[in-house]
């Protein structure tokens, strides 16, 4: 196999780039800090006659002294050639073809160098396609490492660690930006945001996570282009929601996102209330994010369903009041219908999987049941599988609203748990479902 075998014919000239090579003795990255499985992948690609580099967030984090969550590899081998080298490989993706090398639960992602994007006009093209807004829909265009570097989003994410000589290769000034503490996009910011609007969310997340300042050229277009997030699949935005709000920087991310108009496309129902920091909706969202950050810092678990319940609580409550006034439904029925409406409406922007939306609805319904303080009913409610989540939500409401009745109700349930230890299920240990006895078949008659 030829080391510099290029998978595709170039259609555009490569933009002029000046490579800066940082030798091993000039940077802190050591092989002992790299995943053992990633090292295996790098060396096998290298021995197979291909170029092999670590790239992206893992290189950036290692330079900052942060332990990377995953290690991404880039090479000049096509996905099909990667699969020939690894038996434990599967190919995924339509927008851009990737190879996943699986070592049990650990997955090393291997990508082929991307080339300059140019839409293929042929009818049966599976290579490259964009929509009317300029967003890339399909992008299986391969190229060189220089072309790959200028196709990446931020300069600090375009640093390459070469397994052949253990040096870092910088084509776009990422090392200088990292040292200066500034986050810059590669190329024209507006064009890059149009290619992939999620980059606006990533800009905020990287800035707060790494303590970087977003360069003005990247910051200024965001409010004007925030509406482009409407075209992003709801399932993808759910994954971004987890990264943005469940990584320990929820409050900081919320404030920056809200300042730049990025919360409105994520939660359209809160577009107006979040403009007013004094509104009850704003205070609830801010407090929920504050509590989430505190729990993560304390090493406690967090649940997306609880967070969605807090964010959408007041819109759901307003809808329940509308339903109860329009028809003669009970309060319980109004809550049930309003909860279904809230989940359905939110799914247009961020989809919420059932494993989170169902507990979220349980939390809301429990706010009604927690008002029933008769001794028998109260004792029975303590054993509800979602009681602890509903109780924590009641405490959150009391903290945000400052209502005396809510505080009194929260005190009652706190006392009930103290007087009946072991009855309420632990939040970290869900109640196991009791198995039905297995029916035995009658013996066959001879």
Could you list the active site residues?
70, 72, 153
b/e code 78-90 from CB counts within 10 Å (16+ = b): bbebbbebbeebe
The phi and psi torsions of 242 (rounded to 5 degrees) equal: -60, -40
> Which residue, 76, 72, 35, 45, is CA-closest to 57?
72
- In sequence order, the β-bridge partners of residue 91 are 99
- The span from the CA of 56 to the CA of 388, in Å, is 40
- What DSSP character marks residue 275? G
> Which residue, 198, 317, 303, is CA-closest to 269?
317
- The span from the CA of 333 to the CA of 351, in Å, is 24
Helix, strand, coil percentages for the chain (3-state, nearest 5): 50, 10, 40
b/e code 208-220 from CB counts within 10 Å (16+ = b): bbbebebbeebbe
Q: Which residues contact 128 (CB under 8 A, 6 or more apart)?
A: 117, 118, 119, 120, 136, 138, 139, 140, 141
């Amino acid at each position: 196999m030829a080391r510099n075998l290029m998978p595709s014919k170039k259609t555009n000239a490569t933009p002029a780039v000046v490579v800066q090579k940082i030798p091993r003795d000039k940077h802190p990255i050591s092989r002992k800090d790299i995943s053992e499985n990633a090292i295996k992948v790098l060396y096998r690609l290298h021995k197979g006659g291909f170029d092999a580099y670590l790239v992206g967030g893992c290189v950036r984090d290692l330079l900052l002294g942060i332990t990377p969550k995953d290690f991404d590899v880039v090479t000049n081998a096509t996905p099909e050639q990667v699969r020939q080298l690894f038996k434990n490989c599967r190919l995924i993706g339509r927008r851009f073809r990737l190879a996943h090398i699986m070592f049990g639960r650990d997955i090393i992602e291997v990508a082929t160098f991307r080339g300059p994007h140019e839409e293929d006009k042929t009818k049966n093209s599976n290579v490259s396609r964009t929509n009317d807004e300029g967003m890339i829909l399909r992008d299986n265009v391969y190229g060189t490492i220089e072309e790959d570097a200028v196709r990446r989003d931020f300069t600090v994410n375009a640093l390459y660690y070469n397994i052949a000589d253990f040096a870092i290769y910088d084509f776009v000034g990422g090392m200088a930006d990292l040292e200066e503490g500034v986050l810059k996009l590669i190329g024209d910011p507006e064009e890059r945001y149009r290619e992939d609007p999620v980059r606006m969310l990533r800009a905020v997340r990287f800035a707060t996570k790494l303590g970087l300042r977003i360069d003005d050229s990247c910051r200024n277009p965001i409010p004007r282009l925030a509406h482009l997030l409407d075209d992003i699949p709801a399932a993808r935005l759910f994954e971004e929601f987890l990264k943005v709000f469940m990584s320990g920087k929820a409050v900081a991310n919320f404030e920056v996102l809200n300042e730049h108009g990025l919360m409105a496309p994520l939660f359209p129902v809160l577009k107006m209330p979040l403009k007013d920091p004094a509104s009850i909706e704003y205070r609830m969202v801010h407090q929920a994010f504050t509590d989430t950050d505190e729990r993560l810092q304390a090493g406690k678990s967090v649940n997306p369903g609880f967070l969605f319940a807090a964010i959408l609580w007041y819109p759901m409550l307003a809808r329940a009041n509308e339903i109860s006034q329009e028809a003669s439904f009970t309060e319980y029925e109004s809550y049930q219908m309003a909860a279904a409406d809230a989940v359905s409406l939110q799914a247009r922007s961020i989809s919420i999987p059932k494993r989170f939306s169902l507990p979220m609805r349980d939390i809301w319904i429990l706010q009604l049941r927690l008002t029933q303080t008769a001794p028998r009913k109260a004792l029975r409610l303590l054993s509800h599988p979602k009681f602890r989540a509903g109780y924590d939500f009641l405490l959150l409401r009391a903290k945000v609203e400052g209502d005396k009745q809510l505080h009194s109700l929260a005190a009652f349930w706190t006392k009930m748990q103290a007087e009946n230890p072991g009855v309420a299920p632990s939040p970290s240990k869900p109640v196991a479902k009791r198995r039905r006895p297995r029916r035995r078949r009658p013996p066959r008659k001879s």
